[in-house]
Structure 1
Amino acid sequence: MSIYKKNDQGIQVFVTGGTFDKDYNYITGELYFSDTHLPGMFRRGRSTLLTNVKTLMMIDSLEMTDVDREIILLNCKRAMADHILITHGTDKIVQTAKFLANAEIEGKTIVLTGAMIPYAFGNSSDGFFNLGSAIAFAQCKPPGVYISMNGRCFDWNNVRKNKKTGFFEELDSDTDYL
């Protein structure tokens, strides 16, 4: 017996890198990319959701260019699924969300998420929580582009990363969180 509905396209997941997927070299102390942690995270989380994980790139968002964003955009447009999740570095996640929103992709819900602490760090990472939240928002929100961080979902044009607190917030927010 299948747990999937007939013709269910599930969620297309695009991996772009970012702190989310960085690993730690215990000898040198450096962070580096090897492979995405997402398939293992879905298994560990006992997800029964139909997902298709595709790695587009493994880069730090500080190094992301508009050429990289074009690759993300092209893949979003070509995706069969109407619900898309993108893992992304948090430093430039807002710029990529704006880029995608300005392309006016119709009929698709696109949610970008990331992590402040690599998933490879275990329980101290926010990656698992952010992934679960983003997957839920990707299924529930109407078509559009969103950023999901810290258990919240923001419209692409009303969010910023607060560099003092390390949290994402609405543009007009004065919240300190801690």
Structure 2
Amino acid sequence: MSLRVFVTGGTFDKEYDELTGTLRFRETHLPEMLRRGRSMLDVQVEVLMMIDSLEMLGSHRQQIAEACARAPESRLVITHGTDTMPETAQHLAATITGKTIVLTGAMVPYAFGSSDGLFNLGSALSFAQTLPEGVYIAMNGRYFAAGHVMKNREVGVFEESPNPPTSQD
């Protein structure tokens, strides 16, 4: 089974810039993470964009949806910033059929060493192989169906939500 991972940025791939004291993007950490995790999966990594999810617009979500639609693989993982991940999942659920798509991210950048990113990536890869067609978010060892998940900013975890997210466009 072959899987494709689309990279969109988010905290997952941020690094600390010592000169400016800010977080920034250079390149994705996905190949290193797959190597360190000793992944034996056939995984294709494709960088779509490297942006903070708070900067994500409808046009970015459409770009992600188009990439998912044209991917030859039926099982996809998307790394994404956690702030607007539910909105992107909702958009994909409304536009893509016939595929299993799992979005994941991190609360702490991978480059910091104490990140939840490696665990979340492994979970997302496992869920993408086993869940039925649909769009999901995988965080903290759990998965949630698109439209029924929210980020609890007070405790920094994702949880079930009966209400679909609103658009951030």
Q: Where on the TM-score scale, by shorter chain, does this alignment land: which range?
A: over 0.9
Greater fraction strand: 2
Give the SS at the match of 1:107. Answer: coil
Partner residue of 1:159 out of 149, 153, 157: 149
The answer for the alignment partner of 1:4 in structure 2 is: none
Across the two proteins, how many residue pairs are aligned to each other?
A: 162
Q: CA RMSD in A?
A: 0.9
* Alignment-mate amino acid for residue 28 of structure 2: T
* Alignment-mate amino acid for residue 104 of structure 2: T
* Alignment-mate amino acid for residue 123 of structure 2: S
Give the SS at the match of 1:128. Answer: helix
**TM norm structure 1:** 0.89
Mind listing any 5+ residue stretches in structure 2 that lack a counterpart?
163-169
Residue 153 (structure 2) pairs with residue 168 (structure 1): no
* Distance in 1 separating the partners of 2:139 and 2:116: 9
Shift of 1:27: 3.6
Larger Rg: 1
* Distance in 1 separating the partners of 2:97 and 2:49: 24
Shift of 1:29: 2.1
Give the SS at the match of 1:89. Answer: coil
* Alignment-mate amino acid for residue 91 of structure 2: F
Partner residue of 1:136 out of 116, 122, 126: 126
The answer for the alignment partner of 1:117 in structure 2 is: 108
* Distance in 2 separating the partners of 1:160 and 1:140: 22
Partner residue of 2:28 out of 26, 30, 36: 36
Partner residue of 2:56 out of 57, 64, 67: 64
* Distance in 2 separating the partners of 1:19 and 1:128: 12
Instruction: Show CA shifts across 1:53-98 (max 9, x none).
Output: 0000000000000100111000000000000000000000000000
Partner residue of 2:44 out of 49, 52, 57: 52
* Alignment-mate amino acid for residue 160 of structure 1: M
**TM norm structure 2:** 0.94
* Distance in 2 separating the partners of 1:71 and 1:157: 20
